[in-house]
Chains A and B, each alone.
Chain A
Amino acid sequence: MDHLDKLEAQSVYILREAYREFKSLCMLWSIGKDSTVMLWLARKAFFCHVPIPLVHIDTHYKIPEMISYRDRIALEWNLNMIYGENREALESKLTFPDGNTDRLTCCKYLKSEALKHTLSGEWPRYRMDHELQRYVPDEGKEPYTGVIVGVRADEEGSRSKERYFSPRDKDNVWDVGDQPPEFWNQFKTDFAPGSHVRIHPLLDWTELNIWEYIEREKIPVVSLYFNQGSGTRYRSLGCYPCTNPVDSEARTLNEIIDELKSGRLSNIAERSGRAQDSEDGGLETLRRDGYM
C-alpha cells in the first residue's frame, strides 16, 4: 500500500464506522476539492453508492460555476442532494456584500447560522428531485446527529486539534481542552441524546495528498482551481466577494502537484485567499461557533 492507499483506507473505515453507528447522518459538501474527495471516498466505501445525504449551505454568493458543478454531479452520481440557506438574512440584506455587516458577521449569518438550523431541521431544506431535475422543498425535518465534515489537520491550527469523531454539545460548542480519547481505531460512536458528533475522515490528509488523489482517481473538480489563462487560480473556494485567487501558472492537476511540491506556496496559507480568516479572531472564532 502506498501512502494514498493508506489514507484512503483509513477514511473509508471512518465513513463506514459513521454509517454503521449513526442513524441520522449527513455529509457536508462545500463543492471544494476536499469535500469532493470525501464524497469520492464515500463512493469507495459504499461501492459506488452514496447512502448518505449531501448537505450544502448556499450563501447565494458562491461563484456560479460551483453551483452548476454541484448540480451536475448530484444528477450524474445520483446523490441525495440537499441545500439550506439563511433566507431571513438574505431577504433583509444582512450581508457583507450589501454593506450591512463585516465579513465575519456575514459568515456567521450565511454559513454558521444557516448550517446550524439546516442541520437541526428548523429551517427549510431543499432536496434535488432526480425526476424533475430541480430542487423541491424537503419533507424531512429530523435533525442530523452525525455530520461528516472534510476538514484537514494541516489546514490551520484549530483543525489540527480535532479528533476523527468529535462531539459537540446541544449548542454546537466544541470543548477543545477535554476531548474523548481515540484508542487505535475505536472512536466515539456513542452519544447522549441531544448532542451530536462531527466526523472527520480527511483529518490526516494534506493539501498535496488531496491533489495527488484527485489526479490518481481522475475526480472531476471545479475548473476554478486551475489557471485558465489569467495567471491566477483559486486555491480555496468560497463566496466571490471574499475569495481571491493566488498567482499561479498551474493549468493541470500535475502542474498543481508540482507547484505544491516545489514549496513555492509553503509560506502562504492555503486559506490566504479567504478574507474572513484575517479578521479579528478569524477561523477559530468561527469554528467555536459551529463553522466548519
Chain B
Amino acid sequence: MNMRADIPLLAFRDVWKTYGAGEAQVHALAGVDLSIRQGEFVAIMGPSGSGKSTSMNIIGCLDTPTRGVYDFLGVDAGALDRSRRAMLRNRYIGFVFQGYNLLPRTTAAENVELPLVYRGVAARERRALAMEALAQVGLEGRESHTPAELSGGQQQRVAIARAIVTRPTLLVADEPTGNLDTARTHEIMDLLTNLNVANGLTIVMVTHEADVAEYAERTISFLDGKIASDTARLEAA
C-alpha cells in the first residue's frame, strides 16, 4: 500500500439509474454507495443486468445518474453537461473495451495519438508520446501496423496504449480479456497489474471471469442494481 491509496478518487452517494417510466420502470442501479481511492485496482462483477455496466459507464463519465451524486475528483460529475464530461474523459480517464475498439485502417500509432489530437497536442509531440506508450505495452516496431495486421492480444495492447497515452488518473476497462484466449488473458492482466503497481494508475475493470478478477485487489459484486459484496483480496504472505 502506498500513500496515494488514502486519497478518495471517486464516490457514489445513493446513486440510482432508472430507465422507462411508470409500470415499466426499471432500476439499473438502486441506491448504490461506493468509494474508490486513488491507486486501487478494482474488479466489478455480477451477472448481466446486475448494474455493473451501468456503474462502469457512470464511473467513466459516459453516463449520468438519474438520482444521487457521482463525485469524481471532488466534482459532481453527474451534474456536468456533455462537453464538460467529454473534457473529464479526455483529461483523466482512459478506456479499454472488450472489442478493442480501434479505428480500422488506421495505424497503431495513429490510434494511440487520437486522444492527444482532441487535446490539441502538436503532431511531433503526439508521435513521441504515442511511441512511448506503445513501448510501455511492449509493441515497439508495430506502430505502423493497422489493427487488421495485429493479433487480438496486440490490438488490446494498442488500446491500452491509447488509454494511457494521456497519463490518465483512472483506467476503465470493460471486459478487457473477453475476446482473448487464456495465455493472452494473463499477458494483458499482467500488463494492467504492472500499470497499477508501477504507475499508480487506478483501474476499474468489469469482468465476469473470476480468475481475471483475482488480479484486482478489491472485488465489488453487483446484484439487482445493488452491491452484493465488496471484498479486498487477502494478501498472500
Same complex origin of A and B: no
